[in-house]
Each structure stands twice: as C-alpha cells, then as structure tokens.
A = this chain, B = another copy of it.
C-alpha cells in the first residue's frame, strides 16, 4: 500500500519505518523536505506525499494539524483514508492541557475535510508502543474511531502490520469517540509520571473470568 506519513517527528518517523519494514511504499511529508533528507526514507512536500498515497497519516502536532493539512490542499485528501494519530496539547505553568476540549481534533479534521475518510487511532500511547506492542508485558488495546467502516478496516490491517492483533483492536464507533482517545492524554501524562517511562499502554479488561 502507498502510505503518505505527514509529520517527521518521533511518531511519523517510527510509523514510517515500521510500515516500510512491513513492505509498504512509504513517503514522509514535511514542510521542509530538504532538511529531512537524512531519515533513511523518501521525504517530499506535504502535498506531494499526500497526493501519491492511498492512505494518508496525520502525525503532525495536533494544535497545527488542520492548518497544515489545509495548506497542503484539501483536494489531495478527497476519498482517501486519513489516519489521524495527533493530539493537540500545550504545556503551561499549570500543566499539560488539551487544545481541543469539548470536541476532538479527529472530529475537527473530519469537518474540515468532509470527503476524507478519517480514522482516529494510536493516539493513546507513545510511539515506542505504537510500533512494538509485543515489547509490552502483555497484549494491550488500541482504539479506532471513525464514520467509515471500510476505512477502519484498512486501518485495522495497517495496525496488524505494526503487531496489533485483531483481538487487540477495539472499534469505539463514530469519529465523535475520538474525544475519548484524545482526552485520555491527561491520564497518559499522569501514568507516565508515576511509572517514570512513556513506554506503556492500557488494556481493556472485560467482565468475567477468562
């Protein structure tokens, strides 16, 4: 599959490498591709990376995502699966705070690009866990939110390629459930402080003895 990963931070680089290793054709999208030539993967302008892809992945800083994708041109996202990993936050004196409260970035992206098929996923964990779920002590849970079932199915296969078994993937429903994934960031930060590491995840434990 041709995947355009927009964003060359920790998340974008980790996902791009993992999907390339799984046999996909991956291009990273950057606002400054020349400065990113040393990543070991093809890097293009954001618009070009999105235009050539079947699946576009938003791994840009959440507070800037809508503006950045809009600048690239909404037309290159039309009809495409748009996997949104981002969470918008600020770190103030008062602590960590979300930039999208009472709504979610996932919903805002879907509204801004109505012809894109947005799927929110992987936003409840650090990049180290995203691409190596088997390195955790036991199987944990990855969430999916989106309005297009076929787009969620495609995203599910890409998650499987990262090591997420179908049983570990929990479809939460429509894109409005992105709120849950994004607001988890506040608990993520607290757990990270308690454990002293960002490499962990949560597992949903259902009723009834296994």
Contact = CB atoms under 8 A, between A and B. Distances in A.
Number of copies: 2
Nearest to A139: B205
Contacts of A124: 187
B177 A207 contact: no
A208 B101 contact: no
A208 to B, nearest CB: 6
Contact of A136 (B138, B171, B180, B206): B206
Q: Give the secondary structure class of A's interface.
A: mixed
Interface stretch (A26-34, A70-78, A154-162, A190-198): A190-198
B138 A210 contact: yes
Interface string A135-163: 11111110101000000000000000000
Given A138-B210, A197-B207, 11 more contacts: A135-B207, A136-B205, A137-B207, A137-B210, A143-B190, A172-B190, A181-B190, A195-B204, A199-B207, A200-B206, A201-B204
